[in-house]
Chains A and B, each alone.
Chain A
Amino acid sequence: MWYLCVFYHRLLDFRKPEFESLAHLFGSFGDKRSSDPQDRVLQWRLPKDHHPDSPFHFVHLPSEEIARNVANRSILVKGIYELWGEGNDYEELEEAVKSYPDERKLPYLGSESTFKITVDSFGKVLSLQEQNERIEGLYYIPFKGRVNLKKPDHKFWLMETDAHETSNGLPPVVQRRIFFGREVGGADRKLMPMYQLKTRNYLGPTSMDAEMAFLMANQAQAAPGKLVYDPFVGTGSILVSAAHFGAITMGADIDIRVVLDGRGPDCNVWSNFKQYGLPMPVGLLRADNNLPPWRPGLKEVFDAIICDPPYGVRAGGRKSGGRKLLKGIIGPYTVPDDKRADHIPSTAAYTLVECVHDLLDLAARMLIMNGRLVFFYPVLREDGSAENHFPEHPCFKLVATSEQMLSSRYSRVLLTMVKTSSYTEELALAARIKHLEFKENHLKWLEDGNLHSSVFNPSDAESGDSKVTRESKPKYRGKYV
């Protein structure tokens, strides 16, 4: 059945991927165990004359139960509605609602149930009086039940878009459109104030914003009984969201603070879970993503890997091996026996290319089949055709890319990959060879992959080129839109 799906006007690139991941999680594609994720694409339709970035979409879902589950779990769906009618003006709407089959309407209009009608508009504000006039205009719908504004059994929505004016900066819709429908479900935005970072005890400079962390957990289809791993756990901000959805979590980090108990006994990764009454991670360890300590033969244990790898803009990655050693400033040495116990090993810079290579190799080995790898990948906006530069791996199929613009210079793109074929000996061997190559050419990689300077250095040609790219971004797009 077709439903009207209204999104929040936020994080536009993340809306449909989130919806599709959840639809898949809640069984929208049935038991059809097709190995090709391309088969699992929902049918979408836009209202007439609407821009793809409009909040209004039609989506085809197999059942109301799935629609409700998706809406209630999602972060960016304002509501999913069974559409009773739409029109360019109120006369057309009346006709449409009247001709909508009675057997679909009457069960929700009975005298034993309570109801509420909400009037909403996109891109303009309606006064209370205007809202009441519009509700009264619905006299032709035979509501028999009583009104209950606090806890109604059935919620109805009347939604308007304006014509000829640009709404929230979107390209103008030529024709005004009015929708009337019954709410099936809506997002629980209370999660955001509850989990917002400013009230969290233990924070780091790159703790993931709560809304984004939930979106990542949804992309990864975190759910009860699943094991979710974050190899760059930091303060645990991504795992907190996965744990909220019931997943069992595990994290690792190379940073000594993970072992040193954060900022004290009640200000560490554990306390961040305790704060929200969530189950603690099943395991935390200090380990290097470049040399993961998993036992040989261990594979296919994680249901999802979610992370925000250090890409060297706000925080740089580190790997073990010794800073001076890998640069070749000093020769190989042995730590004397009496100093081994308390020795703090020096770490070397970990370039993005190597980091992503290691991440994909780890995920290919440690994810179960159809398991998901969800991570952010930085993209310089000057590059133009960014789509072609995403990392690839023979075990994975890229199913979603969502861009968050961080500045006029660079964006980060949330990549969602599904493991579609198993990890073979050949792949393991190729990864080992690549690993050694990275180690030998440490300096070269260090010079090539420096994102920090591209993002922060003043650009030379401020006039010509950069103007073009800045205009290539629609005016209404920004960090949170």
Chain B
Amino acid sequence: MRLLTHNMLSCNIKGVTNGFPLRIEAEKVVEKQLEINHDFLRNIFPKIDWKAFSDASRIMGYHELPEEPPEPSVLESDAEFLGKFHHALLELHLEEGALICPETGRKFPVSKGIPNMLLLEDEV
């Protein structure tokens, strides 16, 4: 699971109102190279919840992202930043671990890079 996916997910157990961001419990983090796609990064940037994203990147062991959301203009002017954004968003993979709901503490396991977000019968 990449941080792009993490940034989109929340706990949707019935009654939970603050299910985002899910806390990452990392057991195994791997890095996989991916070709940089500027158009995609530019499109997705405004949709990212920056605080959740930069916090998550630190848990995954990457400390290069600013805590405060950068101005969108940085994407055009700063190639170095674009590379860091790309790396944290798409090249860091949570291979094994779990996502933990901040409100209930429910664990959603991540196995072979795939988070299991399915709810139990009594959570629907």
Contacts and interface: CB of A to CB of B under 8 A. Distances in A.
Interface of A: 224-227, 248, 250, 254, 258-259, 261, 279, 282-288, 291-296, 298, 300-301, 303, 320-322, 325, 332-335, 340-341, 343, 345-346
A294 B8 contact: yes
B122 A295 contact: no
Interface stretch (B58-66, B67-75, B77-85, B111-119): B111-119
A341 B113 CA distance: 18
A292 B49 CA distance: 18
A297 to B, nearest CB: 8
A298 B90 contact: no
A286 B110 CA distance: 10
Contacts of B34: 279
Contacts of B111: 259
A285 B43 contact: no
A334 B122 contact: yes
A321 B20 contact: no
Q: How large is the interface on B (under 10, 10 to 19, 20 to 34, 35 or more residues)?
A: 35 or more
A411 to B, nearest CB: 32
Contacts of B12: 291-293
A283 B4 contact: yes
Contact of B37 (A224, A292, A321): A224
Contact of B39 (A225, A286, A292): A225
A74 B46 CA distance: 33
B119 A345 contact: yes
Contacts of A225: 37-40, 43
Interface string B88-124: 0010000000000000000100011111111111101
A291 B115 CA distance: 15
B29 interface: no
A288 B47 contact: no
A293 B112 contact: no
Contact of B4 (A226, A282, A288, A294): A282
Contacts of B112: 259, 261
B39 A345 contact: no
B23 interface: no
B54 interface: no
B37 A285 contact: no
A285 B9 contact: yes
Contact of B114 (A285, A292, A301, A346): A285
Interface in B1-17: 1-2, 4-5, 7-12
Given A248-B40, A301-B8, A295 B121 contact: no
A294 B90 CA distance: 18
Contact of B5 (A254, A258, A282, A340): A282
Contact of B11 (A293, A322, A325, A343): A293
Contacts of B116: 259, 285-286
A283 B5 CA distance: 6
With a 10 A CB-CB cut-off, give which of B2, B20, B111, B117 has the most chain A CB atoms: B117
B8 A286 contact: no
B8 A345 contact: no
